[in-house]
Amino acid sequence: MEFGKIVMERYATKKFDGKTVPHAKMDELFELIRFSASSFGMQPWKIKVVTDQKLKDTLMAASWGQPQIGTCSHLLVFCADTNLDALISKMQGQLSKTDMPAESLEGYVNMMRDFVKAMDGAKKLAWAQRQVYLALGNAINGAKSLGLDSCPMEGFNPVEYSRILKLPENIVPTALCPVGYAADKPRAKMRFAKDEIFF
| Contact call for residue 45 and its own copies (CB under 8 A) | yes
Which residue from 73, 43, 40 is spatially nearest to 177, judged by alpha carbons? Answer: 73
**How far, in whole angstroms, is CA 62 from its chain's centroid?**
19
| Contact call for residue 10 and its own copies (CB under 8 A) | yes
Q: Are the CB atoms for 156 and 63 separated by under 8 Å?
A: yes
| Contact call for residue 164 and its own copies (CB under 8 A) | no
Q: Among residues 62 and 136, whose Cβ is nearest to its own copies?
A: 136
Stretch that binds its own copies, among 14-22, 54-62, 65-73, 92-100 (CB under 8 A): 92-100
Please identify which residue in 35, 85, 106, 147 interacts with its own copies, judged by CB under 8 A: 35
Could you tell me the maximum CA-CA distance found in the chain, to the nearest angstrom? Answer: 55
Stretch that binds its own copies, among 16-24, 55-63, 156-164, 185-193 (CB under 8 A): 185-193
Axis-axis angle for helices 84-95, 102-117 (nearest 10): 170
What is the spatial distance between Cα 152 and Cα 189, in angstroms, rounded to a whole number?
15
Which residues are CB-contacts of 160 (< 8 A; sequence separation ≥ 6)? 62
| Contact call for residue 86 and its own copies (CB under 8 A) | no
What is the spatial distance between Cα 198 and Cα 162, in angstroms, rounded to a whole number?
38
Stretch 102-161 residues interacting with its own copies (CB under 8 A): 126, 129-134, 136-138, 140-142, 145, 152, 154
| Contact call for residue 23 and its own copies (CB under 8 A) | no
| Contact call for residue 41 and its own copies (CB under 8 A) | yes
What is the spatial distance between Cα 46 and Cα 72, in angstroms, rounded to a whole number?
20
C-beta atoms surrounding 86 within 10 Å: 11
Q: Among residues 113 and 130, whose Cβ is nearest to its own copies?
A: 130
C-beta of 87: minimal distance to its own copies in Å?
Answer: 8
Which residues are CB-contacts of 163 (< 8 A; sequence separation ≥ 6)? none
| Contact call for residue 37 and its own copies (CB under 8 A) | yes
Give the residues lining the site for its own copies (CB under 8 A): 1-4, 6-8, 10, 12, 28, 30-37, 39, 41, 43, 45-49, 90-91, 94-95, 98, 126, 129-134, 136-138, 140-142, 145, 152, 154, 188-192, 194, 196-199
